[in-house]
């Protein structure tokens, strides 16, 4: 697990530790000292801890003019025991929302497991985002993780599954990824209306 590092190709465009609006502003990272773990496995030191002992993140890009953020996650998402969604919502998403972010793309291909609890924080997050004409999208979920999320019924608050699991994003610029996901969301909404 220590070889899985956050996507770094966009670092010439955005670094969360240099963004005054980011909850990770001012953080310093080591390339060589591994101190964070998911259970007994060390992870790459570039991942950001936001309060969960098993789920880590990296804000890959934030555009305050267009109101979107792209965030990569890694580890085990556990709402049942450690209430990860509470930390994610209160300590990260609320901080970004204060500065105009209302559209969230969470890249979840390195989320290895999900353990649900209830959907209250997801509902609150969706209501906050949609007040600003925003949305939340989980991209590239592993099949068993998606199934676990759907058991908790969070698909009513978050765009996930289907074509959202087929987004090829790594070689693209962040604004292109945003437009692709936004177009997918709008096409899903159109299909629901007809």
Instruction: Assess contact for 97 and 62: CB atoms under 8 A.
Output: no
Number of structural domains in the chain: 1
**Could you tell me which residues come within 8 angstroms of residue 124 by beta carbon, excluding any fewer than 6 positions away?**
89
| Domain-located, residue 1 | no
Report pLDDT for 191.
55
Average pLDDT estimate for 141-149? 97
* Predicted confidence band of residue 193 (pLDDT cuts 50, 70, 90): very low
| Domain-located, residue 3 | no
In angstroms, the Cα distances linking 83 to 142, 145, 151 are: 21, 16, 16
| Kind and range of the H or E run holding 108 | strand 103-115
Structure token pair of residue 42:
């060390």
Instruction: Assess contact for 154 and 119: CB atoms under 8 A.
Output: yes
Average pLDDT estimate for 165-173? 96
Instruction: Assess contact for 17 and 27: CB atoms under 8 A.
Output: yes
| Domain-located, residue 54 | yes
- The span from the CA of 34 to the CA of 31, in Å, is 8
Q: Show the domain range for 63.
A: 9-193
CATH number of the domain at 121, please. 3.30.750.24
| Domain-located, residue 104 | yes
- The span from the CA of 125 to the CA of 89, in Å, is 7
Residue 93 has pLDDT above 70, yes or no: yes
| Domain-located, residue 137 | yes
| Domain-located, residue 4 | no
């Amino acid at each position: 697990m220590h070889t899985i590092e956050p996507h770094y190709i966009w670092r010439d465009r955005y670094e969360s530790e240099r963004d005054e609006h980011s909850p990770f502003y001012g953080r310093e990272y080591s390339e060589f000292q591994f101190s964070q773990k998911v259970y007994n496995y060390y992870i790459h030191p570039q991942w950001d801890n936001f309060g969960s002992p098993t789920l880590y993140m990296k804000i890959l890009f934030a555009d305050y003019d267009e109101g979107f953020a792209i965030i990569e996650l890694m580890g085990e998402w556990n709402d049942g025991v450690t209430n990860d969604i509470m930390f994610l919502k209160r300590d990260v998403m609320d901080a970004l929302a204060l500065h105009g972010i209302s559209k969230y793309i969470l890249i979840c291909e390195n989320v290895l497991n999900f353990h649900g609890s209830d959907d209250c924080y997801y509902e609150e997050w969706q209501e906050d985002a949609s007040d600003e004409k925003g949305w939340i999208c989980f991209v590239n979920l592993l099949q068993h993780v998606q199934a676990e999320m759907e058991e908790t019924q969070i698909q009513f608050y978050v765009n996930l599954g289907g074509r959202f699991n087929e987004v090829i994003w790594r070689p693209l610029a962040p604004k292109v990824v945003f437009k692709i996901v936004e177009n997918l969301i709008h096409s899903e909404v159109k299909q629901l209306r007809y």
